[in-house]
Chains A and B, each alone.
Chain A
Amino acid sequence: MKIHSIASYVPDHCVDNLAQAATFGETEEFVRTKIGALKLPKKTATEQTSDMAVRAVQKLMVKTELELDAIDALVLVTQNGDGHNLPHTSALVHAKLGLSKTMAVFDVSLGCSGYVYGLQILKGFMQASGFNNGILVTADPYSKVIDPSDRSTTLLFGDAASATLLSKLGKWELSRPRMGTDGSGADNIMVKDGRFSMNGRQVFNFAATVIPKEIKSLLAQEGLQETDIDSYCLHQGSAGILDAIGKRFPAVKDRFVNRLLNTGNTVSSSIPLLLEEEIQKTNINRILISGFGVGLSWASMILTKKDF
């Protein structure tokens, strides 16, 4: 099973992050260099997580010209589903898209590591089930739980959704992943009494210490050098976190993609938003992806263009 195509949905309505930062006394310099996002897309009040997922899948269908009844499985990564997460939001996506009743549909509850986990889960599930086409959807709108008066989180997160088609006909092969969990740090990123909270320093420490080691271990596992990777698509936590990780790879620092500017941190959608563009580039043959966050949880893998 390989990645065939990726599509995304980013809401039109955006919060002006410079204006928002100014209300907290933060400078433009801070927003540009540490946060990285000047605009943060937000879903409308009536738009559901399932609506965002549907929009992403519809765009994928147009892009791939795939018929809806050719889909064998749909997996949705979210921790902010519709209502109270019962029923699972992927079932609502299934209904809104009018998908076949003979297909498998389920949610995966993970945050920023969710896309990499989701790829591996769906790939294994499809192989074991003899499926041809599976869609991995990410839609985790943090605007549902962010407190706009919390300066440590409200400047970081944007809403977005993505849909990735995995198929035998895809071009991008998935390597064996590296995954990890440190549940002792679970309370560093959590929703409590309906409000999202994050210990910025601990999350920064975690990302800056664990992820560089994970990347190095993954490269060693796959017998590759840092320079063998054309593009490093890491979870877009913040510009400061990306810099802290990138500076530990001085030889390839310029290959670490930072595309926070118009979206901010979109949780499990941040990696597929990058990949949607990166896999179109003719000079990109090998991509390292790494997601990390809620849990604490992390997962990394290498994508290689077929026949490269």
Chain B
Amino acid sequence: MITTEQIHSIIHEAVPAVDVSKIDPNTRLREYEIDSMDFFNIILELQELLGKEIPDEDVDQLRTVASIQEYFQKNGH
């Protein structure tokens, strides 16, 4: 299980300018001025936490905080 706090921490590390307390769990991260390369960074950190590679075709499942949690649950975390 990955917590909201863990996800917020990863987002904050990748994009310090974003106020993570204002992120709605069901709103796409891109809406918070997180650009494509920030997103690469976030996925990289999520991958390290998950302990396995996240394939390109799964990336679309990681667009919101809630969907990231759902993805981790599906993948045994």
CB-based A-B contact count at 8 angstroms: 32
Q: Which residue of A lies closest to B17 (CB)?
A: A29
Give per-residue flags for A189-232: 1 if the beta carbon is below 8 A from chain B beta carbons, else 0: 00000000001111011001100000000000000000000000
Interface residues on A, range: 10 to 19
- From A30, A34, A199, A209, give the contact of B44 (CB < 8 A): A209
B56 near A202: Cβ-Cβ < 8 Å: yes
> Contacts A205-B44, A205-B47 given: A240-B37 contact, CB under 8 Å?
yes
Name the distance in Å between B10's Cβ and chain A's nearest Cβ: 13
Which residues of chain A have a CB within 8 Å of any CB of chain B? 30, 34, 199-202, 204-205, 208-209, 238, 240, 244
- From B40, B47, B56, give the contact of A240 (CB < 8 A): B40
Q: Interface centre among B38, B41, B47, by most A CB within 10 Å? A: B41
Q: Which residue of B lies closest to A203 (CB)?
A: B40
Interface residue total, chain B, C-beta cutoff 8 A:
11
Chain B residues near A34: list those with CB within 8 A: 35-38
Majority DSSP secondary structure for residues of B touching A: helix
Q: In the complex, which residues 39-62 of chain B have their Cβ closer than 8 Å to any Cβ of chain A? A: 40-41, 43-44, 47, 56, 59
Which residues of chain B have a CB within 8 Å of any CB of chain A? 35-38, 40-41, 43-44, 47, 56, 59
Show 13 residue pairs from A and B whose CB-CB distance is below 8 angstroms, ordered by the A residue. Answer: A34-B35, A201-B40, A201-B43, A201-B56, A201-B59, A204-B37, A204-B41, A204-B44, A205-B40, A205-B43, A205-B47, A208-B41, A244-B44
Give A204 to B43 CA distance when docked, in angstroms: 10
